[in-house]
Chain A
Amino acid sequence: MSLHIVVCAGIVPDPLQTLEPIAGPNGPALKNEMMLPAVLDPWAASALYEAATLVSKFPGSRLWLVSLGPKAKLQQVMMTIAQKVTFELVAVDSASNGFADASATASALASGIAAIPDLDRTKLLLFGGWESASRGAGVTLQTVGELLGITDQFAGVDQIDMREDGSFEVLERVEGGKHQASVCAGAPAVLGWATGNLPEPHNNPQIGMANMRTVMPALQRAKQAALTNDGQQYLSASLPSQQRQTRVVRDLAPDAIAQELVEWIRTQ
């Protein structure tokens, strides 16, 4: 049995950056967006690592990474990610960010995937993050799945156990900190990953060098995609106020404080 895994993974600003929305010509944008270092979207990155592990377990399998974003930023992110696991890159050049409409992003991704030569849809596992760290909508991957006609979909996946007959068991996050376990007859299927169980792979320069043979040409080939906004209009985008009006209680005896606290703890 072999698999064809396609991982959809966008890029997002390094989560350690300070973000600030500004009004752009086509709705909100991030201040200095092109200046901010970017990383592979964290949940999608776990999907990529899980995919690489699966591919290594089933000889003859293949792994594509489909990534949509501004070309220069994609290139920068690839220098880190290409050191971690082996993949074939499909790059789509687009000025996308968290404010872009998810369904438009999904159609661009779906056409990118449809155009992959040699992709066998009967073996296709479509991976990605269950939500992005930018839009955080959980819409993109499902829509790509629908566009490709895949009706077995899983969201918030933390684990997959692939069986020799091609069927697999998945664990999806559900309420109350629990997992729902399901068995799917096999590919094609969509798996939107949460964190999974794998640590971030080490940076391996040899993997990096091998990937570079395909990554750079893929970036050079990247097609431009303009995203439509599906009637979506932002009325505002703002930072929440961080400051609270703090009441500083200085000269109260511990007993009196305890009294006040217990009342507070007990109020609903």
Chain B
Amino acid sequence: MMPEAILVLTHTDEAGSSLTKSSLETVTAGKTLADRLETPLVIGILATDSNAAAKSLPGLNARILGVSGEAFEKPQYAADVAACEALCNAAQATVILAPQSSRMARVAAGLAHRISGSIDTHITSIQGDEAIEVTRWLYRQRIEATITRSVRPWILLIEGGVCAAYEGHEGEGELEQVAVELPELRTNVIGTRAPAHSGQTIRPDAKMLFVAGAGWTKKQADGQVHAGEAGELILSFLQKTSASLGSSKSLVDQGGDGQPVLPFLSHMNQVGQTGATPRHPKGLATCCHGEEPHVVGWRFITERRAISLDPNCGWARGKADVVYIADAFKVIAKVNELLALKA
């Protein structure tokens, strides 16, 4: 088999000075692969000033190539694809890794076409003993496949969070500038816009998802509904943990006519088959039964815990890691108390 040569394409963040986290993660992926295959590693940097950006890579034993210029300040297809093409030509790699960032995802397939290579995206792991085998998901995260390819160059876009970000210490590598011939640029990036967020919708960057189920507004042991108290407990928890707020369909539907039972909830909060499928490292379900239509929305919640009164609820049947059979009113009140103490 022909020896592989590996190139990692990276780019800077919005500020333009340092490499993005996902770029640094991909550097780790590239380094691991190069070490395993005992082949040289090349890094390519796309930045206004790639020399400055190379400072994000101390102590990396690799050849570093860079393209620099105002044209690369903002992501844009025509300039980016030309830059990547120039880096690839300079590196002559067989395997090209890049982060699955919006910037790289916009150009990677076009790049593959230009360098007569093949491409796979959304890679969640790179394995294999001798050959390179990658895994990715198909059919909206429902089928997991392991793929290999014979065509080279082979471009792989690596999902965020698959590797730790590269962290080096001493020593700076020498950067070689690569010239890019730019076509006439017909697109002008004018900036980014943050969508108007209402207060308590699902927050994509939160560490944790908190799901409130319909049990919060059901009659409790004393035969009464305690919606007011439920609302306070939930909001207090959110405020203390900065968790993202999700809900079951049953609970948000209650707000359907007239006054919502918990006024801060809307259909925007619904998690599940007919709602959202958020991504968070942790999730806590409270007063929710864990029916399948709801739990399909938890596909990307890594660690799952639930508090429910019902030992036969869905969570207890293999849908959560831990289920506490307990009264969520009592547990969350105490949790809030402890969080307040320790904060």
Judge A-B direct contact (beta carbons within 8 Å): yes
Q: How far is the CB of B226 from chain A (nearest CB, A)?
A: 15
B166 part of interface (Cβ distance < 8 Å): no
Q: Is B151 an interface residue (CB 8 A)?
A: yes
- Most chain A CB within a 10 A radius of its CB, from B138, B151, B311, B331: B138
Give the residues in chain A near B112, CB-CB below 8 Å.
103, 139, 143
B307 → chain A closest CB, angstroms? 7
Name the distance in Å between A2's Cβ and chain B's nearest Cβ.
19
Q: Is B106 an interface residue (CB 8 A)?
A: yes
- Point out the residues of chain B lying under 8 angstroms from A266, CB to CB: 342
Q: Which of B323-343 contact A (CB under 8 A)?
A: 323-327, 330-335, 337-339, 342
B333: A residues at CB distance < 8 A: 254
The answer to whether A235 touches B102, judged by C-beta atoms less than 8 angstroms apart, is no
Q: How many residues of A contact B (CB 8 A)?
A: 78
Contact of A175 among B102, B109, B146, B148 (CB under 8 A): B102
CA distance A28 to B143 in the complex (A): 11
By the criterion CB–CB under 8 Å, are A102 and B109 in contact? yes
Task: Look across to chain A and name the residue whose beta carbon is closest to the beta carbon of B307.
Answer: A257
Mark B221-257 against chain A: 1 for CB-CB distance below 8 A, else 0: 0000000000000000000010000000000000000
Contact at B121–A15, with CB atoms within 8 Å?
A: no
Decide: A233 near B148, CB < 8 A? Known: A146-B113, A153-B77, A246-B320.
yes
A residues 234-256 touching B (CB-CB < 8 Å): 234-240, 242-250, 252, 254-255
In the complex, A265 has a CB within 8 A of chain B? yes
A146 touches B187 (CB 8 A): no
| A154 contact set on B, CB distance < 8 A | 77, 106
A179 in the interface, Cβ–Cβ < 8 Å?
Answer: yes
B305 part of interface (Cβ distance < 8 Å): yes
Whether A79 is near chain B, meaning CB under 8 Å from some CB there, is: no
A262/B121 contact (C-beta < 8 A), A152-B186, A246-B319 known: no
A249 to B75 CA separation, bound complex (whole angstroms): 50
Chain B residues positioned under 8 Å from A146 (CB to CB):
109-110, 113-114
- Spot the interface stretch: A61-69, A182-190, A208-216: A182-190
Inside 8 A of B101's CB, which chain A residues have their CB?
Answer: 175
Cross-chain contact B140 with A136 (CB below 8 angstroms): yes
- Pick the contact of B121: A137, A156, A254, A255 (CB < 8 A): A137
Are B139 and A19 in contact, with the CB atoms below 8 A?
A: yes
Contact check: which of B76, B147, B303 meets A182 at CB < 8 Å?
Answer: B76
Is B205 part of the binding interface, using a Cβ–Cβ cutoff of 8 Å? yes
When the two chains form their complex, are residues A235 and B133 in contact, meaning their CB atoms are under 8 A apart? Answer: yes
A244 touching B139 by the CB < 8 A rule? no
Docked complex: B190-236 residues within 8 A CB-CB of A:
190-195, 197, 204-205, 208
Cβ of B323 and Cβ of A178 under 8 Å apart?
Answer: no
Asked whether A265 lies within 8 Å of B192 as measured between CB atoms, the reply is no
**Across the interface, do B334 and A258 meet the contact criterion of CB distance under 8 Å?**
yes
Q: Is A134 an interface residue (CB 8 A)?
A: yes
Min Cβ gap A66→B in Å is 18
A10 at the interface (CB under 8 A from B): no
CB <8 Å contact, A99 and B138: yes
Q: Which of A230, A237, A258 contacts B331 (CB 8 A)?
A: A258
- A234 & B322 in contact (Cβ 8 Å cutoff): no
Interface residue? B284 (CB, 8 A): yes
Closest Cβ of chain A: how far from B22's Cβ, in Å?
8
* A148, B145: Cα distance in complex, Å: 31
Q: Which of B144, B189, B304 contacts A237 (CB 8 A)?
A: B144
Instruction: Tell yes or no: B42 within 8 A of A by CB.
Output: no
Contact status A265-B282, CB under 8 Å: yes
Residues of A within 8 A of B78 (CB): 151-153
- The reply on A138 being an interface residue by CB < 8 A is yes
Which among A88-96, A118-126, A166-174 touches the partner chain?
A: A166-174
Q: A32 in the interface, Cβ–Cβ < 8 Å?
A: no
Q: Using CB atoms, name the residue of chain A closest to B339.
A: A262
User: Judging by beta carbons under 8 Å apart, are B138 and A98 in contact?
Assistant: yes
Please tell me if the beta carbons of A136 and B138 are within 8 angstroms of each other in the complex: yes
A227 to B208: give the CA distance in the assembly, Å: 43
State A169–B187 Cα separation when bound (angstroms): 9
Interface string of B288-322 (1 = CB under 8 A from A): 00000000000000011101000100011111111
Ordered nearest first, which 4 A-B pairs have the shortest CB separation? A258-B334, A243-B318, A231-B150, A142-B109
Q: List 23 A-B contacts (CB under 8 A).
A: A21-B145, A134-B138, A135-B138, A137-B121, A138-B121, A139-B108, A139-B119, A143-B112, A146-B114, A172-B102, A180-B189, A182-B188, A238-B143, A244-B304, A246-B315, A246-B317, A248-B325, A254-B331, A257-B326, A258-B332, A258-B334, A259-B334, A265-B208
